[in-house]
Structure formats: structure tokens, C-alpha cells
Amino acid sequence: MRIQPGSLVELSYRISGDDGELFDSSDEDGPMLVEFGREDLPPALEAALTDKEVGHEVELSFGPGEAFGAYNPDGVVALAKSDFPTDVTMELGECIAVTVEDEDAGTSEELEMRVLEIQEDSVILDANHPLADKALVFWVRVESVREG
């Protein structure tokens, strides 16, 4: 079966910096399962995998910000600890789900934000992807493809 939008695809992967520093891989937790075409992967990687089969390997290089976007300083926010439920515990570096409401539009969305700093009355959070603005090399192998 070939990879098409809607396919469930298992991928082994390694993500490293252009200097060879390893940032993430599937070695410890096993292959990643993605529903292809839902923008879970960088667009150039999806394009390189479209119509491929089990066993296909690809290595792609991305310039700074191409894979996970440019770093946006507006993505760093300070929130009062009182804005969080009292049973929420936070640790530096961990990601937490934060609901962001747009009162003008009457909508809300849930964002994963990384805890940068814990202060006495507030928490500094970062909505940027940890690999934003980095030049990266992705190595990916297709382990399985099935209908979604």
C-alpha cells in the first residue's frame, strides 16, 4: 500500500541539528504513528513520503525555521498562578495544555506550552515549538502503511 492522505503511517525517525546533535528519535519509544495529510509533519517531509511504501527511507535538511517555524517572541507569556486549577503541578521544561480564548471571536483553542520559569505568583510559558528556528536534518523510514 502506498502513502496517501488519510493513511495511518508508522515512521521510525531521527531529528538532528545540522551539526549532528540528536534532538529526538524513535529509538526509545518506537515508531511514531501519524494520520498522513493532517499537517502533523513538515510539508516538505509529507511531500517526500507521498506515494511511498513500507521500507522507503528519506533524509531531508531544513533551514532555520523551515521545519517547526520561526521563533515568535509573542509566544512567550506570563500567566498568574491563580489562572490555573489548584491541583495543577508544573515543572520547568515540561509541556502543559493551556486553553486560549479569543473573546472577540468567541472561540478557544488548546495549545501545548512549555514551562520556562516558575515565579512566586506567575508562570512564564512558551508556545513556540522547542525546535523552532533551528536548522534540522530529518531521517525517516516507513515501517507500515494502512488505511485510516
Domains located in the chain, CATH noted: 8-64+132-146 (3.10.50.40), 73-126 (2.40.10.330)
pLDDT tens-digit series, residues 34-78 = 999 888 898 889 999 999 999 999 999 999 999 999 999 999 999
H-run or E-run covering 71: none
Confidence at residue 39, expressed as pLDDT on a 0 to 100 scale: 84
Share of the chain above pLDDT 70, in %: 100
Q: Is 56 helix (H, G, I), strand (E, B) or coil?
A: coil
CB 35 within 8 A of CB 147: no
Confidence at residue 123, expressed as pLDDT on a 0 to 100 scale: 95
Average pLDDT over residues 103-119: 89
Q: Where are the alpha helices (DSSP H) in the chain?
A: 43-49
What is the rounded CA–CA span in Å between residue 30 and residue 133?
26
pLDDT beyond 90 at 10: yes
Its sign, for the CA torsion 110, 126, 104, 39, is negative
